[in-house]
Amino acid sequence: MELPFRYILTVTELTQEIKDILEEKFPDIWVEGEISNLRIPPSGHLYFTLKDQFSQIRAVLFKMQARCLRFIPEDGLQVICRGRVSLYERRGDYQLIIESIEPKGMGALQLAFLQLKERLEKEGLFDPAHKRPLPMIPQQIGIITSPAGAVIQDMLHILERRFQNLHLLLYPVRVQGEGAPSEIVEAIKYFNQSTAVDVLIIARGGGSLEDLWAFNEEEVARAIYHSKIPTISAIGHETDYTIADFVADLRAPTPSAAAELVVRDKKEVEGAVRYLKGRLETQIIQRLQGYRTDLSYFKKIFKEPKKRMEEYFFRVDDLTNRLRVLASWIFRRAVEKYIHLNESLLLRNPMERMKIFRRILREANKHLEKNLRYFIEIQKQRAGKFSGQLNSLSPFSILERGYSITRQIPSYQILRDAALVKEGDKVEVRLYKGTLICGVEKTEIS
């Protein structure tokens, strides 16, 4: 029996078949999901997972498409992606190759605006401490805007009306579209390097967020921040806000308002000058009147300087005499005090005190010698008395009267009983003068 024919595919062939089916079935689709596990390798491609509550799919956004994004993708962001389904043959994973991506519920431009605003704010580009005051009356004003349109005409009309003969320098730039941000940056650098303007105005009329986007670019914001010239941002209408508004030293709600803020009305300035002039004249007059009053007073004081000098001479003589009397009294008091201290010092002179001590010491020595001799004599008498008593009790005095001491040999015990020895024993007889060694021939016991 013959076996049925089997068509066997390799893994590569099967994978290629699946890939063709997926790409043919899903060539252009829209997918909504949440970004997670976002990673950006050195190649610049964006790899992440697109997921919802129950499922997930791998996704990739290549570098060329990523360059066109207005915002920065991040984990947790809910997005809507347009792309095609494909399969990565080496791992057998199917994935979504994205052509475009936009945030859900918020436009890409709006999200990019918020992300850039938050990042620049953290870097300190909006710090009020960095903002510089505008000059009161600028001599030269630099304007960066489009030469066409009503914006520049309105600004020129207002500046001419408020302060005639101002020196204005216009740097024409595109204010929207491709290339506009770089032209604005070049204009700011030009004014900072090549001219001596006192203030810069960056202006543009109203429009949509896309129309105003050139002023939301990071390079424009950093150029304004690093500008050495105070800058006014006048972009769009009063309700329009751009990144340039936050970085600039002053935000004007409209270009026309910027023209009014950059310089005060000439009539107002002239009025202020007249007011200050009047105040200055009044203060000068008051100061002169004060000097005149002081001069009259000094003239009155020095009307008869000779008499005043005589009074001063008399006063000096009187003070001199009083000083002399006071000095004499002080001197006498000092002399008296010196004499008193000298007498006290003599009494406390160490030599005198030594003489007194020597005299007292001599008397004490005499008295001590007398008492010592008397004490020695008494002690001699007492010693003689005790010596006699000791002699009378001494065994030698008894021996001197004819008595002797007998001791048994060899124990040398004193014999008090004849029964303690027998014939032939030797005894020692101690006399007053000398000693006898005797043998016992006979004992008699009484």
- Give the mean pLDDT of 31-54: 87
Q: pLDDT tier at 245 (50, 70, 90 boundaries)?
A: confident
Q: What is the pLDDT of residues 362-374, one digit of tens each?
A: 888 888 888 888 8
Q: pLDDT tier at 106 (50, 70, 90 boundaries)?
A: low
DSSP string, 75-116: TT-EEEEEEEEEEETTTTEEEEEEEEEEETTS-HHHHHHHHH
Q: How far is CA 235 from CA 161, 173, 397, 438, in A?
A: 22, 14, 149, 158
Least confident of 61-70, 93-102, 184-193, 259-268: 259-268
Q: Reply yes or no: is the peptide bond before residue 410 cis, omega within 30 of 0.
A: yes
- Give the mean pLDDT of 292-304: 72
| Domain at 11-105: CATH architecture | Beta Barrel (2.40)
pLDDT at 158: 79
pTM over 0.75: no
Residue limits of CATH 2.40.50.140 in the chain: 11-105
pLDDT at 339: 79
The residue among 49, 111, 54, 113 whose CA lies nearest residue 81 is: 49
**CA-angle at 387, arms to 386 and 389, nearest 5°:** 65
Q: pLDDT tier at 154 (50, 70, 90 boundaries)?
A: confident
Structural contact between residues 78 and 105, judged by C-beta atoms closer than 8 angstroms: yes
pLDDT at 5: 63
Q: What is the pLDDT of residues 117-140, one digit of tens each?
A: 888 888 888 888 888 888 877 888
Structural contact between residues 232 and 134, judged by C-beta atoms closer than 8 angstroms: yes
Q: What is the pLDDT of residues 158-191, one digit of tens each?
A: 777 777 777 788 888 888 888 888 888 998 899 8
User: 70 Cβ partners below 8 Å, 6+ apart?
Assistant: 108, 109, 111, 112, 213
pLDDT at 263: 78
Residue limits of CATH 3.40.50.960 in the chain: 138-263
Residue 4, pLDDT > 70, answer: no
- Give the mean pLDDT of 187-209: 84
User: 76 Cβ partners below 8 Å, 6+ apart?
Assistant: 34, 35, 36
User: Which CATH superfamily, name and number, covers 138-263?
Assistant: Lumazine/riboflavin synthase (3.40.50.960)
